[in-house]
Structure 1
Amino acid sequence: MTHPYAICLGEILFDCLADQPDKALNQVDSWATYPGGAPANVACGLVKLGTPAALISSVGKDTEGEKLVQLLQEIGVDTSGIQGHPYAPTRKVYVLRSSSGDREFAGFGEYPTTEFADTHIKPELLPESLFLNSEFLVLGTLGLAYPETRQAIYQALDLADQYHLKIMVDVNWRPSFWPNPGEARALIHSLLQRVDFVKLSEEEAEWLFDSRDPGTITYRLDSVEGTLVTLGNEGCAYYLSDNEGKVPAFSVDVVDTTGAGDGFVTGFIHQLRQYGIRRLQQPGVAKQIVTYACAVGALTTTQSGAMTAQPTADEVEAFLSSYLHQSNE
């Protein structure tokens, strides 16, 4: 059995995307359902690129939960860390979208945010054996909103420290997931003191650090090895092992931006496995790794649903080769 290179911890859910763009919530007639959840997206994306990954999460003992676990297993994600909650349902997120592909969260249907299975990841059920042979722990911050899952995150951090895993956090700020959004900033800042790599959108960077400069953020965090700030259609700015730079965005026909940031994280971690973290000290390699991550993120937007368009390694290489060829003409 191949041991996972990365353990992703957090929510797995169904994204319900409005079939009609540019409509208000009460005007949408039908919804298309896609598997999602940032940590699950990263785990699946890694496996599709060829990097073994595991997901730790909790799903309801319902049809939706069964479907999601089956999908993970079909893709090849290690599901030994998936817990089944006896009564809390699997989460559904309703998403409005614009004709340009941008999306807006529109709530959780009939349930409050605290009622779903992913809020009850039990720390005592985390499989320690996963951490024994893995290299990376990948976290979002949504689980910090819920006391039980928050404790599971802290337990995972302790295990990661015990077994010398690198830790990456994608802030993924979603106020609607938090029952008390006012708690978020302090909890996220506390989490970021324990990680090696952090990825933020420019809005998250401004919110948490009053700066979108990755060098400034790295300096303020002091303990991190690298900071990545995604800038939408401006690309990505990065500070990695004292190498600072910016990679422009790729131009693609955007259908749905859901999962683009998760695609970026996927590409970044996959490349760290290919090159090794020490090679981030080489300016050219650092830029190449971020460029690859941007390509994965861009390709993820070319179809509806966060997992649908996740590329294989061959597809990313073909895309990058085509882009390089065009830029040289």
Structure 2
Amino acid sequence: MSRLALGTMNFGPHTPEDEAHRIMSRALELGINFFDTADIYGWKLGEGITEQIIGRWLAAAPGRREQVVLATKAYGPMGRTPNSGRLSALHIRRACEASLRRLGTDHLDLFQLHHIDRTTPWEEVWEAVELLVAQGKVVYAGSSNFAGWHLARAQETARRRGSRGLVSEQSVYNLLERTVELEVLPACEEYGIGLLPYSPLQGGLLAGVLRREEREGAAGRSKEPKTRRLLEQHRDRIAAYESRCAELGEDPASVGLAWLLHRPGVTAPVVGPRTVAQLEGATKALSVRLDEAVLKEFDALFPGPGGPAPEAYAW
């Protein structure tokens, strides 16, 4: 699969369908073949708006499905009944079937458990996933938003059952948010699980936010309260980061993505463009090379949690 993954969460709510179709077509032209979505994207209960948009794009031209590594997720509520969400065996099977219909395909290359379900035994989860694999509806299983010990329990249960288990984990990971380095990333490396970092630019904070504010004034400020709070909390560090990127002659967004591409255990950061131009900008990161000295500078500017657990908080 490609070194960058195309995230589609903006398709529908923020990106109109015609532009979403152009983004997907351009992604293939640029060599990005991993498309990531989820049944809840589109944020209209039970409708799977984003999956429908992708399904219509796939159906619009012969051969597109074969060019794409297609991934979706299940966990979030798709209705108001007890089994319309989470990871019961019933919901897993129903969610997969519904995603296949919306996407217009007979199989999912990667079916991801969108969140840990603390109420469903792993034996039940794997029973449902194994059935979908046996039916040819799912090729691989992955996870998202799991802790390190969740990954361990999932893999050890799968091992006892003679199953492959998880092949990927999606987690928040960027220069500002490095918590996964404590236990998630070490668990992924131990079990051979590929890490797919999402929010690689922390909501735009690592994409030149201060430059944009200076250029556009109030119009360039984020409307998200959480993003504004984080900006004020980390303004000095972000200013130093943008200054260093300018010295390197690189765009901050490209450097932020390139930093992830330099991290061990990272398979592909998930980028979520709203426009074709943003997608094209993201691919510049593939050509950015950061030497050891620069990587150490960024470690000093955005220190991680102190190395893997338990050394990060014990001897």
> TM tier, shorter chain?
0.3 to 0.5
With structure 1 as the length reference, what TM-score do the two structures score? Answer: 0.37
Structure with the higher fraction of residues in strand conformation: 1
With structure 2 as the length reference, what TM-score do the two structures score? Answer: 0.39
